Chains A and B, each alone.
Chain A
Amino acid sequence: MSQDIQTGYLNMELLRFTTAGSVDDGKSTLIGRLLYDSKAIFTDQMEAIEEASKRRGEEHVNLALLTDGLRAEREQGITIDVAYRYFATPKRKFIIADTPGHIQYTRNMVTGASTANVALILIDARQGVLEQTIRHAFIASLLNIPHIIVCVNKMDMMEYSEEVFESIRVAYETITAKLDIHDIRFIPISALHGDNVVKRSTKMDWYEGPTLMYLLENIHIANDNNLVDGRFPVQYIVRPYSDQYHDYRGYAGRIAGGIFQKGEEVTVLPSGLSSKIKSIDTYTDELHEAFAPQSVTITLEDDIDISRGDMIVHKNNEPNVNQDIELMICWLNEKPLALNGKYHLKHTTSDARCIIKEIVYKVNISTMENATDDKSVKMNDIARIKIRTTKPLFYDSYKKNRITGSLVLIDEGTNETVGAGMIV
């Protein structure tokens, strides 16, 4: 048993994925199926949905009810926010960011996509590639999700036909060719009957690829973090003021990129001063090296004035330092983006204010074309904008690093998070 723990439980990876599909593509059924077939559903949960299915007069147990959220939504029968689900297999622990696919919910998909390693995109085999499908692909590429899995669902309703699957695959690939997507796979499935979800389908011998679960368990994610460019946003200053650690001054934070090693030369921004890493401390050990996404405390050889919002970086590999920044923004709030408006801004561990200088263009997400004449940016719109900040940010392009390349805008009156920005 203890050997089991060492080689099994303690050796699992964490994979986060997000789901996208149009209404009725079978997303809830698919998630229900994954949870059910991986035995993540407990008897009391199962009993509850059996009862609910009966109350609603449905003849089968509706697996989709498992992922149903708050009561208001249950009553309206729709999902209006990102919900998080969990399951595990002996290989991996999975976090699903379950987002509704409707056009109005671009902001939800963006939210779910922001932390995902993988996007699961559903297509109804009867419908093929729709406008919404294109939108989902665009968002996945904009948010730089490393892997995309396209599930062509309801294959049972199309006689499990290879031609249907192949024509959808070709149509999808043609449309997404101009997007920056590195790793994309296609799987024919039936969420309702379970074909190629966890168990291999016996009805589609022509398909030689893996099942969805196999892919989720084996897709290579160890390289999803940037391990090249050392970025350590300082989050908190640790000062014990105790006899034992009298002069201790540690910089606590979560590594946003790269690998940091003891003894290595680093530069501190904004001061530009250099020092060497004296130690990388955790509660139990002193580490020889640490890497993204570890949370650690770093001490330096030299006494430099460093505070929250500063960044420790590899020497000779510095991020951009600038107050004029161009970014793609997804608008999250009912109150539209205001040109020349001022917003509070959060970027890594640093806070600033900014002014919106220019709306360069708005994206028509359904055609992926840039509309330069219509510049009103409303909720769920995506646009390219220029801002100027009150102090320099230390950033990389979002394509290079999803942590140092992302920021949010906050309304200074309501304190709501109103915009999600990806630096170009």
Chain B
Amino acid sequence: MTQTTHRNINHLRELESESMYVIREVAAQFEKPALLFSGGKDSIVMFHIAVKAFWPAKVPFPLLHIDTGHNFPETLTFRDELMEKTGATCIVRLVQDSIDKGKAVEETGFSASRNKLQTVTLLDALEEFKFDAAMGGGRRDEEKARAKERFFSHRDEFGQWDPKNQRPELWNIFNGRKRMGEHFRVFPISNWTEMDIWQYIYLEKIAIPNLYFTHQRDMIIRDGVFLAKCDHIPLKESDRVANMQIRFRTIGDMTCTGGVESPASSLEEIIEEVAATHTTERGTRFDDKRSESAMEDRKKEGYF
């Protein structure tokens, strides 16, 4: 007989359980889901939970990486190694191809970024493979515009998000019903914060790219932001270049991911550092500084 005494799980296990539930709902409710993989810690955690959700079977959907061509080489190496280790499939689609086909126009100038162009490549890839659900590692704590995002986010046939036309989500019931041509973005780790992610990586001993840990690197110092020196960023007169002890809090394109000066070389040290910092992760991102509603605008167009 079971005895009813107290049973409790910690916040990370409860978040994990919720995310697993959401990922399994996606596998059950959609015909052709995909998991958007960027090589950043959020998508690594999401993938880790997916692996757990279906074990001992393999993850029943492919990963999809929209490669801007501006990734850190370390990210790509990490991605390939992870796929090899887990036996998962990762489909890669290149923003460069969209540019070559004339579907997307490269931004020019010193702070040109391919962040916006990703949307075109992503929507084309969804179309190409007839994916009807794309899981992303977006978290509600990241940005104001995400605070009202649903787990199951409905997109019309143009991939657009209408903030006024989102379905209420109650209890743990998720409505993935849709018409032909429509699809869903699903955010299984909606309720996680940056801190939760780090604590979970620590708890589960999840491997992450070494860019997250401190290392020496040549950095461009521009408007108070530290950008990794690389071929994709043309130097301005006012830029300074210095060799710094740096790590990255988020990993995106080299053109818009700012580093932080930090000696943190272990997960414990990162957790300690995150607990003590006073700026959001997005504070280190160049793209969100463009306008207060930058993220919201990109989302409406179908951005992650």
Give chain A's interface residues, CB within 8 Å of chain B. Answer: 1-2, 5, 9-14, 42-45, 48, 67-72, 81-86, 88, 92-93, 95, 107-108, 110-111, 114-115, 222-223, 225, 227-228, 230, 235-236, 238-242, 244-245, 248, 250, 252-254, 258-261, 264, 281-284, 289, 291-295, 297, 308, 314, 332, 344, 346-349, 402-403, 406-408, 410, 415-417, 420
Closest 3 CB pairs of A and B: A14-B11, A283-B52, A295-B20
**Given A70-B148, A295-B17, A420-B170 in contact, is the A42-B279 Cβ separation under 8 Å?**
yes
Of the stretches B32-40, B54-62, B65-73, B115-123, the one at the interface is: B54-62
User: Which residue of chain B is the closest to A66 with respect to CB atoms?
Assistant: B144
B54:A238 contact, CB within 8 angstroms? yes
Most B Cβ at <10 Å: residue of A44, A230, A347: A44
B145:A70 contact, CB within 8 angstroms? yes
> Which A residues are CB-close (under 8 A) to B109?
none
> Which B residues are CB-close (under 8 A) to A308?
28
Within 8 A of A (CB), among B96-135: none
**Given A14-B14, A240-B58 in contact, is the A83-B147 Cβ separation under 8 Å?**
yes
> Which B residues are CB-close (under 8 A) to A259?
2, 4, 7
How far is B57's CA from A236's CA once the two chains are assembled, in angstroms? 12
Instruction: List 19 interface pairs A-B (beta carbons < 8 Å), by A numbering.
Output: A5-B199, A13-B8, A84-B147, A93-B193, A115-B171, A227-B7, A240-B56, A252-B53, A252-B54, A258-B2, A264-B2, A282-B52, A293-B14, A295-B20, A308-B28, A347-B173, A406-B170, A408-B175, A417-B170
Contact pick for A239, options B12, B57, B271, B282, CB 8 Å: B57
What's the nearest-Cβ distance from chain A to residue B179, in Å? Answer: 7
A410:B170 contact, CB within 8 angstroms? no
Give chain B's interface residues, CB within 8 Å of chain A. Answer: 2, 4, 6-18, 20-21, 24-25, 27-28, 51-58, 140-141, 144-145, 147-148, 163-164, 166-173, 175, 177-179, 190-191, 193, 195-196, 199, 202-203, 268-269, 271-272, 277-280, 282-283, 292-293, 296
> Which B residues are CB-close (under 8 A) to A43?
278-279, 283
> Which B residues are CB-close (under 8 A) to A10?
10, 12, 199, 203
Contact pick for B292, options A5, A48, A225, CB 8 Å: A48
> Which A residues are CB-close (under 8 A) to B293?
71
Contact pick for B190, options A84, A258, A346, CB 8 Å: A84
Contact pick for B148, options A69, A253, A292, CB 8 Å: A69
A44:B54 contact, CB within 8 angstroms? no
> Which B residues are CB-close (under 8 A) to A45?
280
Contact pick for A222, options B7, B58, B171, B177, CB 8 Å: B7
